[in-house]
Amino acid sequence: MKCSSAMEKLPPYLFARIEKKIEEARARGVDVISLGIGDPDTPTPAHIVGAMARAIANPANHQYPSSVGMLSFRQAVARWFAARFGVALDPATEIVSLMGSKEGIAHMSFCFLEPGALSLVPDPGYPVYEIGALLAGAEVHLMPLREEHGFLPRLEDIPTEAARRARLLWLNYPNNPTGAPADRKFFSDVVAFARDFDVLVCHDHAYSEIYFDGQRPLSFLEVEGARRVGIEFHSLSKSFNMTGWRIGWACGNPDAVDVLTRFKSNVDSGVFQAVQEAAIAALEGPQACVEDMRRLYQSRRDIVVEGLRRMGWRVQPPRGAIYVWAPVPAGFDSASFAEHVLDQAGVIVTPGSGYGKHGEGYFRIALTVGAERMREALGRMQAALGTVRF
């Protein structure tokens, strides 16, 4: 049996490797505390679960769903988007439902890339941006995200030849893995760059509702001219603790939305309608649960930052997302540090190299365990590491 050349080049998915390490450690009897995968540990709010239970009983939801999504869901998205960002979207032409934003992110490469084309990808970054391009047979130009530049790509450093060949430019703010924000000036510069080089901007806004210290993130589509050059991906996974439900959307440039919709109509049958009805309840129901979630993650962020500082880290509190991004101590690279922490402390952290070559020298902690368990993990790390040097 021979698989495609694209699959032969494809490495194992980062989080599949982490899950395997967790299984192996637990099989050895280790009490593993996993700070590796960003999967919320608190349940989906009860009013969303209730809406789902009612929707399941409706026979109208037992048939094939539309690949574009129920109009009622897209209308709910448009109302939420207008209230949250002040941006008016046409539910008929500027929104498409997704089986989680990951699906749409991967499919964009098949929609717009081909051999000889190029995708501009942040590094470190969510692995699917690059993986999608490789599976589509396209090339990737990595945009380094460096701490001294606020983990924003320097558009002026992109070679003109790469910019001219590029069809997609990926962004993600609040950022995974760094937690960094982006401001209006940066997004305006991106619009100008995209217009100059005829590039479609793809902004992954999965963490739009996870922000700290009152610093609410912008949508890329809020910036003047963005809708002419961009599309934005949203997910209910992190905002409403619905990771397993697989529901999200893409919105923005109507031509890009149409291409993605046509691709989806040929490869899937859309999101189960009962899940879409639950998503409507999330978007239009009480939002106190979202504020509660923000406070929870901020308190965990503060526990992690304080614990790392006690050990000698000079780490800045992230402004958003559900991660703390920190440099590895002297004497380690990303992988060896993660292995050391697992072996000596029974704690899983994610090596920064899993997010790209410019993630080397860092590791990521996910804020997805309770406060006491988080303190225990940090205590184990301190016992194993002592005071660290850089």
Residue ending a domain, choose from 250, 284, 318 = 284
Could you tell me if 132 and 279 lie in one domain? yes
Indicate if 164 and 240 belong to the same structural domain.
yes
So what's the pLDDT on residue 269? 84
The separation between the first and the last C-alpha atoms of the chain, rounded to the nearest angstrom, is 48
Once rounded to an integer, what is the mean pLDDT over residues 325-344?
94
Sequential DSSP letters for 63-109: SPPPSS--HHHHHHHHHHHHHHH-----TTTSEEEESSHHHHHHHHH
Same domain as 240, residue 183: yes
Cβ–Cβ < 8 Å for 220, 205: yes
Structure confidence at residue 3 (pLDDT): 83
pLDDT digits (tens, 9 = 90+) for 83-98: 999 999 999 999 999 9
Condensed to tens digits (0 to 9), the pLDDT of residues 264-317 reads 999 988 999 999 999 999 999 999 999 999 999 999 999 999 999 999 999 999
Give the model confidence (pLDDT) of 93-139 as tens digits: 999 999 999 999 999 999 999 999 999 999 999 999 999 999 999 99
pLDDT at 30: 84
pLDDT band at 359 (very low <50, low <70, confident <90, very high): very high
- Does residue 110 lie in a domain region? yes
What is the total count of domains within the chain? 2
Tell which of 265, 284, 303 closes a domain: 284
Are 196 and 334 in a shared domain?
no
CB 193 within 8 A of CB 161: no
- Return the CATH number at 376: 3.90.1150.10
Give 94's contacts (C-beta < 8 A, 6+ positions apart).
Answer: 227, 251, 252, 253, 254, 257
Pair type for strands 248-252 and 200-204 = unpaired
Q: For residues 278 and 174, state if they share a domain.
A: yes
Name the residue range of residue 148's domain: 46-284
Q: Residue 385's CB: how many other CB atoms inside 10 A?
A: 17
Last residue within a domain, chosen from 233, 267, 284: 284
Q: Please report the pLDDT score of residue 21 as a whole number.
A: 76
Would 390 be classed as within a structural domain?
no
Q: Is residue 201 located within the same domain as residue 346?
A: no
Mean pLDDT of 242-260: 98
CATH of residue 230's domain is: 3.40.640.10
Predicted confidence (pLDDT) at residue 10 exceeds the cutoff of 90: no
